[in-house]
C-alpha cells in the first residue's frame, strides 16, 4: 500500500478561521459567498467529508491571499498613546486628537447615536458639551464598519450596547 505524499497545508486556513478574522458569520462565508460570487476561490486542499456540493466543505483549506479580495473593507484602526486613553474629551476634541475633520466624528451623534459610549457622567445620549473617555471613543471609532449596504451588520456589539439578554447572561 502506497501512502499519499503529505499535502502542503502551512499558511492555509479554513473558512471558519477566515470568517472569524473578518467579522463575517461562518454560515455566510460557507453557504452564501461561494454561490453569490462566481470568482470565489476553490479550496487548495479538500479534506475528508467534502463531496463538492457544499456538505462537509467547512474544513477545506484555502489560501488567505485568494480570499483577501472578499475581506470587508474597513478603515485602518487608529492608535493613540496610553496617556491619551485616560483623557476626557468632547466629540470635537476626539476628532482633533485622531486628526480627522470634526464632522467625521460629530455626525455619529445624529446618524448612529446608539454607537456612542456613555458620557463621563453616565448619560446615554449626547448633549451640548458632553465629555467622553478617549478609550471608549477609540473603541467605537475603530469598530465602525466600512462603506457598503448592510455594513453595520458586521459591526460587533460594543460593550455599552449589550442588553443582558444574550445567551449566557
Pairing of strands 132-133, 88-89: antiparallel
Predicted local distance difference test score (pLDDT) of residue 34: 85
Predicted local distance difference test score (pLDDT) of residue 22: 80
Predicted local distance difference test score (pLDDT) of residue 147: 56
- Write phi, then psi, for 57 (nearest 5 degrees): -85, 0
Cβ 73 vs Cβ 67: under 8 Å: no
CA pair distance 163, 169, nearest whole angstrom: 9
The pTM score is 0.53
Predicted local distance difference test score (pLDDT) of residue 134: 95
C-alpha cell, 124 = 446615554
Ordered domains of the chain (ranges, CATH): 15-70 (no CATH), 82-161 (1.10.1660)
CA 148 to chain centroid: 13
Mean pLDDT of residues grouped by 10 in the chain (169 residues)? Answer: 52 88 82 85 78 58 89 76 94 94 89 88 90 93 65 62 58
Amino acid at each position: 500500500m502506497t501512502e499519499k505524499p503529505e499535502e502542503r497545508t502551512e499558511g492555509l486556513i479554513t473558512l471558519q478561521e477566515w470568517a472569524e478574522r473578518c467579522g463575517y458569520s461562518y454560515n455566510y462565508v460557507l453557504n452564501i459567498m461561494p454561490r453569490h460570487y462566481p470568482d470565489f476561490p476553490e479550496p487548495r486542499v479538500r479534506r475528508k467529508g467534502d463531496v463538492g456540493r457544499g456538505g462537509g466543505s467547512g474544513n477545506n483549506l484555502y489560501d488567505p491571499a485568494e480570499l483577501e479580495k472578499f475581506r470587508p473593507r474597513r478603515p485602518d484602526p487608529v492608535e493613540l498613546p496610553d496617556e491619551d486613553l485616560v483623557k476626557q474629551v468632547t466629540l470635537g476634541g476626539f476628532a482633533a486628537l485622531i486628526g480627522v475633520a470634526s464632522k467625521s466624528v460629530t455626525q455619529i451623534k445624529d446618524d448612529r447615536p446608539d454607537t456612542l459610549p456613555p458620557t463621563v457622567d453616565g448619560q446615554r445620549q449626547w448633549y451640548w458639551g458632553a465629555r467622553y473617555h478617549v478609550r471608549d471613543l477609540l473603541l467605537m471609532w475603530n469598530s465602525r464598519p466600512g462603506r457598503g449596504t448592510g455594513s453595520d451588520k458586521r459591526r460587533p456589539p460594543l460593550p455599552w450596547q449589550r442588553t443582558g439578554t444574550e445567551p449566557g447572561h
